[in-house]
Structure formats: C-alpha cells, structure tokens
Structure 1
Amino acid sequence: MIPKTPMPALELDKLSEDILHHIHSLVPLRDAARAACVSRKFLRSWRCFPNLTLNWETLGLNMNEGTSYERAKKLTNGIHHILENHSGTGVKTLKLQVRPCGDVITANHLDSWLQPVIKSGIIELALDLPWNHSLEFKFSCSLISSAATSLQSFSLSYCSFHPNLTIGCLRNLTNVCLILVYITEEELGCFFSCTISLEKLEVNQCDDITFLKIPSYLQKLSVLRVFLCRNLKIIEINAPKVSTFLFRGPRIKISISNSYQLKSVTMNGQCYYGMYQYALTKLHSIASNLQTLNLVSAKEAFNLPVSPNKFLHLRNLGISSCGMANFDFFFLWFLFSKLALHLKVSSYR
C-alpha cells in the first residue's frame, strides 16, 4: 500500500496582507470577530472589515433572554463596541437594524456610529431605525454626500430626510427604498434630480407626500413600488422605462406618459375597495400593453362597464380578496379571459 502523502498545511501568516484581508472579508461577521481575537493580522483586518450587518442574529444575541430593555441594551452595546473599534475605512456594506431599540438608542448614538463609516467607497447603506416618537433622527445630507461617488443601494426607515441640492450627483445609485420617512414631495423631487441612474424605487408609508411625480429624466427607472402613503392623491409617471408598478392603498389618480411601457402591475387594495372595478374601467388607460396583472380587493360594488377595454397582451392574472367570502371569482376570471385574448395562466382564491 502506498502511504498517503499528508496535505500541506496552509500557513496563513505567510500569506500577504491583501490576501488575508480578502479572505477575512468573506467570513460572516461573528466568525470574523473571533478570528480577530486570535490573530494580529486578522485584528488589523477587523478594524477595516467591509461588510457590517449589525442586528440580533449577526451579533449572536438571544432575543428571548431578559426584558425588552435588557435585550435592546445588549444590542446597542454590541454595535457600539464594533463601530467604536472600527477604523472607519474600507466599509462596503452597512446594514444597521435596530428597530427594537427605541427605549435605549439616541440620536447621538446614531450620529457617532454613522459619521465615521459612511464615506466614499461604501456601496450599500440600509438603516432600519427605531420607531420612537421621542427620537426625531434627521438623516444628514452631508452623510450621503460623503458617499455620493460610490453608493449604489440606499434604504432608510423611521427617520426624517430632507435632501437638497448640496448632496451632489449620486451617479451610481440604482436602488432606493424609503419606509416611514418624513420627506415632502418637493424634497423627494430634489432627491430625484441627484439620482439620474435610479433603476428601482420604493416609497412606503411616507405620509407627507400628496403628489408623487416621477420625472422623465429618470431614464433607467424600471421598477416602482408605492405602498400605503396615506395622504397620497396623485401618482404621475413620466419616466420612460417603468415596466413594473406595484401599488398598495385606496384608489387614487394614476397617470403615465406612455401606457405601452408597463408590462407588470399589482394593485393591492387590501382593506380598501373597488380594485377589480378599477382594473376593468381605468387600468387600460395607463397599461394598455399589460402582460401580468395581480389584483387584491376587500370590497366590490361591482358594475360591469358598458364597453370594457380589452387587454390584448395579458397572459398572467392573479386575483385575491380580503373578506369577500361570497364573491364570484369564476365570473371575474371569465370576464378577464374574454377581455384578454391571449390569457394562458390565471389564478384566483
């Protein structure tokens, strides 16, 4: 029998600093922190660790241990310790998920954490902040300005954001999500003027907006999501390439400059009424080239249109309801199948 040749040991200390840093950057956050405790080279790498996703899970905390205050305190202390020991350089991703910490976290905490790490070079920034009426955190325009040249994805929730033209051009920003953010329609319009490469936009529960205007210079915008903005009355879509539109809320006025561009539409009227009727009477005017349609409605005062428009390109139809146990879905499916000559796949429940 030929003796097996032992595999040569990989001596990490003989690898270059750059290679070690790259290996370290691919390790999950908790394992990267452990490695930094046993290796000086990994400790140096830890101080510029690029992927900071900071939440209960990544810090290895037990969500069922102690009171809610004690759990929030542990999470806040853990995040503070990590960011206090970070050099502030090399961060590519920062995801800060601290929604349960409203009784502990302060605006000063957030400022001290964000200021050192949001710099040129960061690619993804996602802040899920506490919902706390006593905490009125204003996300600073100067923070996003410092990352303007590199930022590609920006998600913000539970704070105020008042952008102005001092932000500069966010030329690489392609994905924006605003959830429960205090921002006016004028400020949002100012923000749009800085984000000419935007491809995906979500505006969710931003109640200060009454008129959402998507300007024509957003030439690359393809996906638009608008959810539960309580005071929103009008949506006007002038961007030329929006092909997917998802809406949740009551029926409002929606206009689009080119009705042929929309291919997929979701109209979610859960807790509201009339989405089926809206689809049969109004939707064709903004989506005449529709291929996929999903409808959710809670109540219908159903009247057939005299001469409903036909959806000649519709192939996928999803219909669901909230609280309409006796509604005749077979009839609605039959009606759409008559209006959509090429309908091949349909669903209902």
Structure 2
Amino acid sequence: MITELPEPIIQHIMSFLTYKDAAKMSVLSKHFASAWNCFPSISFDETLNMGSCARLKEDSYEQPINGIDSVIRYAIENKVKELKLDIVGRQKFKFQAHYNLPMKVFSAHSIRVLSLKGFMLEPPQNLTVNCPSIKELNLEMCKGMQTLKISGEKLKIVVIELCQGLDKVEIDASNLESFSFGGEAHSSCRINLVTCKSLKYLSLRNAQVTDEWIKHEVAQFLRLEVLKLVYCRLLENFHVSNSNLKTVELRNCFKLQKIEIYARSLNTFAYGGDLKPSQVIIYSPCVHAKLSLSADRGLSDHWYTNLREFLACFDHCKELEIDCDMDMALIVPINVRKNLLAPLYDLNYLKLVTEQKPKNINDLVDGLMWLAPCLSKLSFISNCQEKSLKFEYDKARTIEDDLDCCKLRPIKCWRHSIRKVTMGNFDDCENMILEKFLAESALRLEATSREGNACAEV
C-alpha cells in the first residue's frame, strides 16, 4: 500500500534515509523512481558523493575541497530551488575561508533560497552580486570582499553574518522585507538600504550606525515593524518616529545617552546595558518594556539614584520586565529611599527575571514594592517557572494611623492600602515566610491566600 501514497509523502519518508538506501528504494517501483527523480532537496556526504535525499549535512573539511564545482553544476542542472553549502561544519578550530565560489550560483534561475557558509567570494575588494531569482540569501563566514553590493527584484530576506573584512554593504532590492547583519567584534561596517522601501525587519550588530543614520534612513522605512541594534558603538542619541514600529531592541550600545521613540503601535521595547541613558521617551499607549541591567559591583548611593531616574522613564508601561544580574541592585537601601520618590507609581505589572532563587524573598518583595507601590501583580521568573503575588487595594479608606515610613510624604508606600494578597506557585516554606512578612508589614491587610486555596484572615 505504500506505493499508493502521494509523492510528497514518499519523498518525506525518503528524507529519513541515507541517500544510498533511498536510491535502492527508488528501484522498487515506477512511482518510487518518479519521487526519487523529482526529490526537492539534494544531499552530499563527506566525500561529495551526490544523492537526492534528506537534509544537507554539516561536515568538517580541513583540506581544500575540489568537488564543489561539480556539486553546484549538478544542482543548477537539476533546477534545485534551495541550495545550502556549508564547508565549515562542526569543526572546532578557527576556520579560514579558502574555496573560491563560482559566481554563476547567484544568477541561477531555479534557485530561490541560497545559503553559503565558509566561502571565498571573488572578485576581491568590491563585489557586486545580482540575484534575479533568489528570494532568500544567507552569507555566513564568507570573506574576500570589502564592499558588497547585492541586487535583486525578488529578494525578500538577506542575512549576512560574520563575513570577515567587510567594510560596506549596499542592498538594492525594492521588495526586501528582512535584513540582518552581524559583524565581527569591533567591526564598523557601513550599511546602505536606501532603496529597500518594503523593509519590515531590520537587525544590525557591530555595524556603523550613527544618530543621523537612524534619524534619516530609518524614517524612510515606512513599513518597518522590528528594529534591533546591538553593539552599535557610535550611537549616542536614538531618535525614531514610525507609526508601524512594533518592536525596538537596543543592547550594548555603550555611548547611548538619549532614547526617543514615537511609535503608537509599539508593543515591545527591549534594552540591555548600563544606566547611561539619562532620558528615555517612549510615546506608545501599551508598551511592554524589557530591561536587562548590569549592576555596578559597588552598589553605591549613586547607582541607586541613577536606577530610580532610569526606571521612572517606564512608569507608563503596561508591563515592565527587569533582568538584573544582582538582586541586591534592585533593593534601594532605606537611607536612600528617604530622599527619593518611588519611580513606578503608575505601573501595574512588574516581572523580575532571575537565574537563581532569591536569597531573601522578603527584602526583595519590599524593595520591588517600594519601586512600584501600586502593583496589581508582581512576578518572579526563574528557570521558566513563574511565581507571583497579586494585590488588591482599598485606597479610598481613610488612614488614621500612618506608619513612620511615610510621615510628611505626599504619596504613601504599599504598606498602607493593600487589602488582600494572593500567592501563586511558591513552595510551602516561601508561602509561610511571605505570609508572616505581609501580616507584619501591611497596615490594612485583611487576608492572604494561595492560588487554589481558601483565604486566610490576618
């Protein structure tokens, strides 16, 4: 009955076989032979024996490969639509590209997806590549050019990763939707995407990105939805205005001083680095902010003052997620709190991402609740497990006896108005510790409960 299966299913079965076994299978019937001859993917083993089954293997080669020409010729003659060539493989030593790739592979009319890893691209210095039929182009660990110009009306996706010596990339593709560039450490490759008016996704790492480039070039990408910048060392004042932007990610841009984003559709803002930006302005009604902070080991009063000023920029966010390498960095000391106002008074939902279980859950809850005294939910996420505290308040009730912590302060801390707390997913020991802490600290607490259990009156 297997001979009656549709050809795509037979090809799927063949994809799990070695090419030799699949070739043997093809002689059993005309239907199998037809499926074998029309197989959509070509595979080569470490000796470059050709077969037409399964996925391209990632093998390691320490010596120059002399059979790639025949491989490419075979693929083009058989009108292969997807061609992935990797001569780096899983080798552990530092790879040096040495094989000169035939340029005819870029102009092959059948190829729709082309992925190259570890090749020498010639002519050297200035390379111009025309891709008339390719929709997706991936270049990784290729070398031999300082300037790379890529054009193609059908190009939708271009990925350039770790191409040594590259100084400038220019893309001329009016239908390009996604461009990703990852340079080597300390590289400053220039990027020109002026003609890419259809761009929706842009990711740059170790690229020459300046304030003017962001302000003027990015403004032309009217369809842009995702913008990611990592290790862009020249960037100081990030200013972008785009109504379609949904995600902005800025990580390790060490000179960054000011961030301004005008994007009414923005729902995710991610930042990674230190507290250098003195001003962060995000005009969006429902943004979810994700902050990855590297704390000063000294944790001076100056650190906590900067932390307060930085976090205050995210008071209007729908959700705030903080990933910090030190729990103590988020617990503002009592003596410092006296001179500061809580930065996140309007925040409803705060997440803390930690690698390890907090050492002192009481101090951490107190510190986070000082930062955001009116939270509806406080979550702790560690090892893909979430623990949470949900709060209910009675702010309308008159408080007759203020706690000493808030005398003469216009805004009262969290201890004054919490009426009920629901704890979720904490272990028994943590539940008991938190219940005792809340009962002793919250002035108006009426009850605590654990999710799925009845309330316990305080």
Calculate the TM-score normalised by the size of structure 2.
Answer: 0.54
Matched, 1:314 2:336: no
Q: Are residues 1:63 and 2:97 paired?
A: no
Structure 1: state its 5+ residue gaps: none
Q: Contact (CA 8 Å) 2:183, 2:189: kept in 1 or not?
A: no
Gaps in structure 2 of 5+ consecutive residues: 5-27, 44-52, 59-66, 127-142, 384-458
8 Å CA contact 1:209–1:232 kept in 2: the answer is yes
**How many Å separate the matches in 2 of 1:188 and 1:53?**
34
Match of 1:221 in 2: 245
Identity of aligned residues (%): 13
Which runs of structure 2 are paired with 1:281-320 in the superposition (5 Å)? 281-297=309-325, 300=329, 302=333, 303-304=336-337, 305-314=340-349, 316-319=351-354
Correspondences of 1:157-306 after superposition (within 5 Å): 157-158=183-184, 159-162=187-190, 167-215=193-241, 218-251=242-275, 252-258=277-283, 260-270=285-295, 280-297=308-325, 300=329, 302=333, 303-304=336-337, 305-306=340-341
Distance 1:194 1:38, change over 3 A: closer
Amino acid at match of 1:294: I
Deviates more, 1:240-249 or 1:256-265: 256-265
Q: Report how many aligned residue pairs link the two structures.
A: 308
Which protein is bigger by CA-based radius of gyration? 2
The structure richer in helix per residue is 1
Kindly report which structure 2 residues correspond to 1:34-183, keeping only aligned pairs within 5 A, or say none: 42-45=75-78, 49-52=81-84, 54=86, 56-57=88-89, 62-64=91-93, 68=94, 71-72=95-96, 76-78=97-99, 80-81=100-101, 83-89=102-108, 92-93=112-113, 107=125, 109-111=143-145, 118-130=151-163, 135=165, 137-141=166-170, 144-145=171-172, 147-158=173-184, 159-162=187-190, 167-183=193-209
- Structure 1 residue matching 2:324: 3-state secondary structure: strand
TM-score, normalised by the number of residues in structure 1: 0.68
Secondary structure of residue in 2 paired with 1:187: helix
Kindly state the Cα deviation for residue 120 of structure 1 after the two structures are TM-superposed: 2.4
Moved more, 22-31 or 174-183: 22-31
Distance 2:87 2:220 in 1: 30
2:63 aligns with none
What secondary structure is seen at the aligned counterpart in 2 of 1:192? helix
1:342 aligns with 2:376: yes
CA distance in 2, matches of 1:40, 1:11: 22
**Alpha-carbon deviation of 1:311?**
4.5
CA contact (8 A) 1:96 1:128 kept: no
Structure 1 counterpart SS, 2:229: strand
Deviation at 1:257, TM superposition (A): 4.2
